[in-house]
Amino acid sequence: MSSHGPLAYLGVRVDGPVWHSRLGHPSSPILKFLLSTNKLSIAGTKTCTNFTCYSCPLGKSVKLPFQSSLSVTHAPLALIHSDVWSSSNKSVSGFQYYVLFVDNFSRYSWIFPMRLKSEVFSLYVKFKTLVENLFSTKIKALQTDGGGEYTSHIFHNFLVTHGIDHRISYPRHPEQNGLAERKHRHIVDTGLTLLAHASMPLAYWAEAMHTAVYLINRLPSKVLGLQSPSQILLHKEPNFAFLKIFGCACFPYLRPYNTNKLHLRSVKCVFLGYSLDHQGYRCLNLITNRVFLSRHVIFDEHCFPFQETKGPHAPISSSSSTDSAPPLQIFGSSRHSSPSATSRVRPSTTHSMVTRAQTGVRKPNPKYANHAFLASTNDLVEPTCFSQANKFQEWRTAMGEEFNAFQRAGTWVLVPPKPTLNVLPNKWVFRIK
């Protein structure tokens, strides 16, 4: 146990697969490295890294080639990379995006959820104040892809006033923003794997991505010579002793919350990640939708409450049902949430990661187009062509949402056909999942 981290009542030695899950499903070499350096309290040695994880293939994509970063820096905040990630699913708190900031020197990352892209400027100002105070140095340069939210008049003036060099990747050269792109990929893959492992709905993506960033900042990285971003930036060894598996069952000590001495001391909750402000665990009560923060929590890492809620009668999430939910402050506030979505959607290997530079590489998955519809189509047949599907309102709605998702993501640009080019056809594929 550490005086820096939250406290857990159970501190037993666990095996490799449990550590793999607690750490956000890192690759085998990273887990082996942590075990070989005695950073993890392990039970047994034989099965440490020789196991199959069924959640990893669900959340992680096939790696695409990336050019390595062109920028070399020798101090924190000398260069910050930033980019916006869009989700095709609104989170339980109504978030649609997050903005990412990565320190080029340490690869340490911060993300902030957003309802609108226009929040990027105010979040950058907040981020700048935070890190400059923390590290007693100034941000010198900002690398972006030049998206509208970074090139507004007010943003431009702010950067000029503070002497910050704004580096914009050239159009059609997204690899110049490659570091942010790679970081997005790592965060989103990890977040989706966490959701898949806990059978949690995509509506909890903001909590999952936040936990992913928390873990990635603490994990050794090959590009950092197997040091972690937090080691390089904060000069301290990450403490893994208090990590628990995202989405597992937990029992927080509720005495401080109770208004009546006869109230139960605890209640079964879902572990939703770590609270930065309070150095505690965030625990969601699925009955009342209330989130408790506690340092004193008992965990059952073999039980995942969202697995128990699956089935045809589970409540269905939709964007409209989450609109009225109060914001879930996942980045360091103690405000409570009221998530209303409890449907479960299995993440897929082709998740809807959409960043401008990668548009066209990843496409929104039709299976997320309309949860309510998809969950109620067990006895329907899959149409084999457009004209068949077009006869049904549900499929028309799904196609409409899918088409709109492509449009919003700017997946294609219409150009006049050239007689010299061989134009490939495409078709709709309909699947009930």
Beta carbon nearer to Zn ion, 198 or 375:
198
Q: Which helix (H) or strand (E) holds 395?
A: helix 393-409
Applying CB under 5 A, the span of 17-25, 72-80, 344-352, 355-363 interacting with Zn ion comes to: 17-25
Query: Which residues inside 120-179 make contact with Zn ion, applying CB under 5 A?
Result: none
Least Cα distance to 146 among 124, 162, 164, 168 occurs for 168
CB nearer to Zn ion: pick between 42 and 53: 53
Residues recorded for the chain: 433
Closest contact distance (angstroms) between CB of 132 and Zn ion is 37
Spatial separation of the C-alpha atoms in residues 296 and 211, rounded to whole Å: 19
> Which segment (20-28, 62-70, 349-357, 369-377) binds Zn ion by CB under 5 A?
20-28
State how far Cα 343 lies from the chain centre.
Answer: 18
Build a one-symbol-per-residue string for 23-52: x at contacts with Zn ion by CB under 5 A, - elsewhere. --x---------------------------
The answer to whether residues 199 and 310 touch, using CB atoms and an 8 Å cutoff, is yes
Q: How far apart are CA 293 and CA 227, in angstroms?
A: 30
We find the least distance from the C-beta atom of residue 8 to Zn ion, in angstroms, to be 22
Contact (CB, 8 A) for 179 and 102? yes
Q: How far is the CB of 55 from Zn ion (least distance, A)?
A: 5
Q: Shortest approach of Zn ion to residue 407 CB, angstroms?
A: 34
Burial class (CB in 10 A: 0-12, 13-18, 19+), 217: buried
- The residue from 35, 42, 53, 232 that contacts Zn ion (CB under 5 A) is 53
Q: Which is nearer to Zn ion, 246 or 251 (CB)?
A: 246
Name the one range near Zn ion by CB under 5 A: 18-26, 160-168, 235-243, 365-373.
18-26
* Nearer CB in complex with Zn ion: 56/245: 56
The answer to whether residue 56 forms part of the interface with Zn ion (CB under 5 A) is yes
Please answer whether residues 92 and 341 qualify as being in contact, where contact means their C-beta atoms are separated by less than 8 angstroms: yes
DSSP 281-294: EEEEETTTTEEEEE
Residue showing tokens 């001495």: 261
CB-closest chain residue to Zn ion: 53
CB closer to Zn ion out of 145 and 189: 189
Residues that bind Zn ion (CB under 5 A): 25, 53, 55-56
